[in-house]
Amino acid sequence: MDLTAGELAPMLRAKKISPVELVRASLAQIERLNPRVQAFLTVTGERAMAAARQAEEEIRRGRYRGPLHGIPYAVKDIVATKGIRTTNGSRATAEWVPEYESTVTERLEAAGAILVGKLNLLEFAMGSGQRGLVAPARNPWSLAHSPSGSSSGSGAALAARMVPLTVGTDTGGSIRGPAKSCGVVGLKPTYGRVSRHGVTTLSWTLDHVGPMARTVADVAAMLAGMTGAKERKRQGDGVKGLRIGWVEGYLWEHVEPAVGAALRAAMEVLEGLGAVRVAVEIAHAEMATPALGVILGAESASVHEERLRESAGLLDPLVRERLEANSLYSAMDYIKALRVRTVLREEMRRVWGSCDAVLLPSGNPAPLLEQEVVETDLPPAVARPARPDTFNLANLTGIPALVLPCGFTAGPPVLPMGLQLWGRPNGEATLFRIGQAYQEATDWHKRRPAILG
């Protein structure tokens, strides 16, 4: 499964390989590595093989549906799949089998993609990763390290070459964190661009559903499938003349030197391809994380009010603690946070007057899993000092954000590093142009974890 979806699609269309062969290879890789990586909670082998045989017959008859036809994929187990267990990574919903299909899986399967299973996650997209339904997912680059969450299985399954495409969700960085930590590509689309029907809610106004893959081109094709739109090819446009904003200051605080060096080198690559660096400032960026915390907290407490009352004992203690604390936010707290959101949306409108995209950090390399769990479980009074979060502002304002690999640590262990790009609302095409140009000029996305052999 080393080939990307973009490499596999023309081979499928030309009948050089078959969907049946691909699904068998995917299931074999899952069987071989999942006991160590723990990326999958449910594997839908028989269903996937039946869908593969159907796809093979359709392609044989000339009924090729497009670049996703016959490609195996998997979804975060917070996305409803009709007739297939959807656990949310929680004992509270461990046996839930939806009677309906999410819009995103419905559209992907209409495009011909083949579901092979449901992926591990932090419980209800907010747990510690340690006390959920099963053991936490592990990072294929180093099993002692975290793949990051909450879409942990979505990132790990890609890095372990179990599937070429996955779906994640992002409320405060939960697609982009795993993309960075696992050395893959993840997109948080513009708010509302991808339907959230059938996706368990964490926060009504912050949740996003998005594609993950190993290349920007695959993410672009997947977004087209998830939205039901026709993919608009712009690979040849390059980045010449595009203005890329370069942010210094607050959003760079606590960035490790190796990560900073990798980001500066990435910017130089893009400049060498014709992009124009523009110095930008994002005023009040430090307000994004506390405002998002209030909105997410108040909305999640409302979402889970009945569950907290009736089945609190089945929840991860950390999830229960968070929900109980979140229920204490007042209407005044919530309204003040909404006002901050308005201020930051206006600030980003000002930023887009001077640039077409912004390049900024996506965080440091993956932490040790044990360290991450310990720090996550600390009560607020003794938790580590708050650090700048380069994900939250994009969720709060609804702008699209793309993360892709831009280097590796010296090791041991060798761990991926990632760059992040922000764009105008509905400006995903520009992010894809920049990301693809960078991937064509570098080979970071072609590196393989040692676990693959």
Catalytic residues: 76, 150, 174
d(CA 203, CA 251): 24
Report the distance separating Cα 73 and Cα 117, nearest Å.
8
Q: How far is Cα 252 from Cα 362, in angstroms, rounded to an integer?
A: 10
Strand order in the sheet with 243-247: 40-43, 114-119, 72-76, 165-170, 208-213, 185-188, 401-408, 416-423, 357-361, 243-247, 276-280
Of the CA atoms within 13 Å of residue 203, those in its CB half-sphere come to: 25
For residue 450, CA distances in Å to 140, 143, 161, 417, 447 come to 8, 11, 12, 16, 10
Tell me which residue of 6, 18, 19, 3 sits closest to 115, measured CA to CA.
Answer: 19
CB 320 within 8 A of CB 308: yes
Check: CB of residue 148 under 8 Å from CB of residue 178: yes
- The Cα 130–Cα 110 span in angstroms is 35
Question: How crowded is the C-beta side of 57, counted as CA atoms within 13 Å?
Answer: 6
